[in-house]
Amino acid sequence: MAGGSLLMLLDDIASLLDDVSVMTKTAASKTAGVLGDDLALNAQQVSGVVAKRELPVVWSVAKGSFVNKLILVPSALLISAFAPWLVTPLLMIGGLYLCYEGVEKLAHRFLHSKEKSVEAAAAELAALEAGEIDEAGKIKGAVRTDFVLSAEIIAITLGVVAAKPLATQALTLSAIAVVMTVGVYGLVACIVKLDDLGLYLSQGRTVTARGTGKAILWAAPFLMKLLSVLGTAAMFLVGGGILTHGIHAVHEWIARFGASLGGFAAKIVPVLFDGLFGMLAGAVALGVMMVVAKLRGKGH
């Protein structure tokens, strides 16, 4: 009797793990796009750190990401059980924050770039070389951005497993949280150390190694600039996508308009509209924040 009970327990565990494996694969495929955005954004956030501090900064952000998941996974399970209607509003708040942050970055870049003097630029470069940049600020900003993207990943995963038992939901969400965090920050660590790899190879003994090292050194700055651009674009695409999906009428109009074009345009145009909507929403949010800041300043 005891042996039969044990076999039934093992069979239940095997079925549960098999179900979790299938659900994890499905959720991973659905969150792959967000994973790419997460990678671009976080690589951009930690770029500019002095070489010897790159990996410690990435590790600090990764630890912050794990803390984010420790908050988000139980919260998602509670929301799924008691208030599933909260998922969309919370996602939209996160999406609007991403759009706001993207517009703020662009505004700061374009409005203040001309104001920077040669002396200020030289001082900034000297601070960078001396390792005196605001590491804490970079880490805080990266963890904050990670929270929004992690929330979307968890929400998408929750949608995949919503009809499953609580144990399957918990294990699948936990698996996705661990896999995504390790995957993203492992790749970010590799990206930020590309220049060191290139330098090492460029001093190699063989012509092939030296050539490869020089090629990596040449390409690394362009890759980081590309990731910076992609990271900012991802804020609008991801944030705008969350907002348009949360506003049914807007999402339906974009979908119908894209479908009417047919072919490749049917796939790319809705994405571009999401990004445009994200930029507009971010600009409005930034404008509101500026007005609120001025009013608070006058109040004081």
pLDDT in tens, 137-193: 778 888 888 887 788 788 777 777 777 777 778 888 888 888 888 888 888 888 878
Higher pLDDT, 298 or 139: 139
| pTM (predicted TM-score) | 0.67
Residue 300 pLDDT level (bands cut at 50, 70, 90): very low
**pLDDT tens, 196-205?**
888 888 888 8
Lowest mean pLDDT of 104-113, 162-171, 287-296, name the range.
104-113
Check residues 45 and 277 and name the one with the higher pLDDT: 277
Q: Which amino acid, 211?
A: G
